[in-house]
Amino acid sequence: MIKYSKEVAAAKSQGRPIVALESTIISHGLPRPTNLEVAKEVEEIVRSQGATPATIAIIDGEIFVGLEEGQLFRIANDENIVKASTRDLAMICADNKSAATTVAATSHIAHLAGIDVFATGGLGGVHRGHVYDESADLTELAKTKIIIVCAGVKSILDVAGTLERLETLAIPVLGYQTNNFPGFYLTDSGFKIEHRVESCEEIAKIWGLRHGLNTDDTAIIVANPVTNQMDKNFHDQILEAGLSDATAGKISGKGVTPFLLEHFHRTSKGESLRVNIEIIKANSKLAAQIACAL
Ligand code: PSU
Ligand code: MN
């Protein structure tokens, strides 16, 4: 059911390290034309570390692991690309539609394709003030064996609530060279991480030990803090305005996250975009290094 790009097919047959990359960040997370530029740069970063990038998406009803240039262009520019979570996959394929995949859907497909490492920006999680708005990223990561590198969860979320859910779902969180849980646009969310790792080799060792202990049903989150964060006060002001606009505009369901990210990019005059790009690049680099260590 899965189609591979030439590059990913070659890497698979030779057993070389592969890094999965999501596509919702391209279609719904970053503005045009920066989205396509970043998508290409991120793939190049993965290659520069000795791994093969596999951007995942659905094109005309077919699941692709690794996109050719024209397909990447479509994900970045076609207005009809929808945002697909795991539950949407079968219907999108049945209708021969095209879709970008979220962290949840990308993890699911990457695991099916035998890929162990995945890089994204920030995970989805529990939304502020909405008891039942919790990203399907969490429930998918609770049942999918993959190492996901991220800059924590998006700061638009209820970070404390999300960390509690991660604990309940038995999804381990490793701080990469940090004891502080990163806050996506911010280096530190204000919450601590119990388990700190210093190297990719340490992550690879943990990955192996989990199997013997039969605690390997879930994903492992590797939290990699951004180096040059947004100004905290500026960030908090923008967030407050964005949350009240979302409430006033009755934004719901899968629209909430893209709405808030777009609000940030528009009102921060490029500052949140700069940070978001730095996050994705740094996470892709680290993910490639982990894939090589495995
Ligand atoms: N990280 C980013 N930008 C994004 C996302 C993550 O830096 O746009 C996307 C991912 O695809 C993630 C989704 O799965 O946001 C979460 O959406 P929701 O809250 O609707 O589950
Ligand atoms: Mn939601």
Contacts of 255 (CB under 8 A, 6+ apart): none
pLDDT for the residue 60: 97
Reading the block at residue 173, the tokens are 């969180």
Alpha carbon separation from 37 to 40, 98, 120 (Å, rounded): 5, 20, 16
Q: Kindly state whether residues 228 and 145 are assigned to the same domain.
A: yes
Q: Pick from 74, 99, 115: which residue ends a domain?
A: 115
User: Does 129 share its domain with 272?
Assistant: yes
Whole-number pLDDT of residue 1: 87
CA distance 94 to 149: 31
Claim to verify: residue 28 and residue 165 sit in the same structural domain: no
- Is residue 183 located within the same domain as residue 78? no
Cβ neighbours of residue 146 closer than 8 Å, sequence gap 6 or more: 20, 107, 110, 111, 115, 116, 117, 118, 219, 220
For ligand 1, whether the C-beta of 261 sits within 6 Å is: yes
94 and 147, same structural domain? no
Ligand 1 atom 16, closest CA: 124
Q: Do 130 and 100 fall within a single domain?
A: no
Residues catalogued as catalytic: 22, 154
- At a CB cut-off of 8 Å and minimum separation 6, what does 99 contact? 57, 58, 81, 82, 83, 84, 88, 92
Q: How far apart are CA 138 and CA 50, in angstroms?
A: 30
Domain match, 202 and 270 both: yes
Residues of the chain with pLDDT under 70: none
Residue 148 and residue 70 share a domain: no
Do 282 and 143 share a structural domain? yes
Closest ligand relative to 154 C-alpha: 1
Q: Which atom of ligand 1 is nearest to the CA of 136?
A: 21
pLDDT value for 120: 98
- The 10s digit of each residue's pLDDT in 18-40 is 999 999 999 999 999 999 999 99
The alpha carbon of 226 is separated from its chain's Cα centroid by a whole number of angstroms, namely 14
Q: What is the pLDDT of residues 49-78, one digit of tens each?
A: 999 999 999 999 999 999 999 999 999 999
Q: Which domain holds residue 274?
A: 119-294
Which pTM was predicted? 0.96
Q: What's the number of domains the chain is made of? A: 2
Domain boundary among 115, 137, 156: 115
Residue 129 has a pLDDT of 86
Ligand nearest to the CA of 103: 1
Q: Ligand 1: distance of its center to the CA of 86 in Å?
A: 13
User: Which domain-ending residue is among 71, 100, 115?
Assistant: 115
43 lines ligand 1 (CB under 6 A): no
222 plus 252 within the same structural domain: yes
Same domain (yes/no): 34, 133: no
**Do 84 and 131 share a domain, yes or no?**
no
Residue identifier of the C-alpha nearest atom 11 of ligand 1: 102
CATH assignment of the domain containing 258: 3.40.1790.10
